[in-house]
Amino acid sequence: MATARVLTVANTSCLLSKTTSFLAKQGPYSTSLCFTRRRAASSLSSSSRRSFACTAIYNPEVQIKEEGQPETLDYRVFFVDRAGQKVSPWHDIPLQVGNGVFNFVVEIPKESSAKMELATDEPHTPIKQDTKKGKLRYYPYNINWNYGLLPQTWEDPSLANGEVEGAFGDNDPVDVVEIGESRRKIGEVLKVKPLAALAMIDEGELDWKIVAISLDDPKASLVNDIDDVEKHFPGTLTAIRDWFRDYKIPDGKPANKFGLGNKAANKDYALKVITETNESWAKLVKRSIPAGDLSLA
């Protein structure tokens, strides 16, 4: 049985023109992408100041519609607009909210172990449980934070990152680890501010982890950069790194590695990562880069 719940998503977008509706018939990517005029600056501080300077244009509302039963191969969490049409949480939910705040789509609630992820190769990119050899995948232990993705970002598998051992992107949206105290729901869209970035290298692929906090968390006003995380959430950055380093070991796989000196980078660097992967996503949806099996619907 399908269920639905209403969520108010973003009130701004850097990516659609004023003439584009939430799901225009011609597709949401036929208009100019204004952020491409603001390339990442060579200075990290300049990047954080100059990026995402576009104007609020619409205030969409989406519903979450579940199909199938949780913890089955058929379970999907779809997003639908006000007209009841399916939309993509990856392509159609705006990245930028404004004033350094971003939309974050929850895939895995904290204190759970089902490995939920965006089905990037399925129409409308719903959330599903990952599988291996036809069986549902679970982490060997619960994840301790809310986990999900930044919409309208993409880690380009054809692009080598010279700052992170020349690793190529993992072909997915950028991951977010949200450190707030509340346990969120699958498909919930939160407004978050980035605080740090970890450069995980998973079987040779670069898999960024942006550490962020939801604006409605009681400690949100206290944390604005990496040093604040260490002060108000002591040990959390190390715990996140160690969790993602070790979670495959119980399955007999080697530990994941991390670039950037095995340490978390600061907020400015996290914003640089978001800028670059947002630009990669724009090239993807404009068909400047081959999409392969990815769904752009």
Q: Please report how many Cα atoms fall inside a 13 Å half-sphere around the Cα of residue 4, on the Cβ side.
A: 13
CB atoms within 10 A of CB 101: 19
Q: Read out DSSP for 18-87?
A: TT--TT-TT-TTSS--GGGGSPPPSSHHHHHHHSS--------EEEEEEES-TTSTT-EEEEE-TTS-EE
The tokens describing 259, both together, are 């670039």
Catalytic-residue membership of 139? yes
Question: 130: exposed, middle or buried (C-beta count within 10 Å: 0-12, 13-18, 19+)?
Answer: middle
Q: Structure tokens of 68? A: 């199938």
Query: Among 139, 141, 247, 269, which one carries the catalytic annotation?
Result: 139
Q: What is the Cα–Cα distance from 275 to 218, expressed in whole angstroms?
A: 28
C-alpha to C-alpha distance for 140 and 246, rounded to whole angstroms: 10
Taking phi over 0 as left and psi of -120 to 50 as alpha, with beta for the rest, 270 belongs to alpha
**Residue 242 CB neighbour total at 10 angstroms:** 12
Residues with a known catalytic role: 139
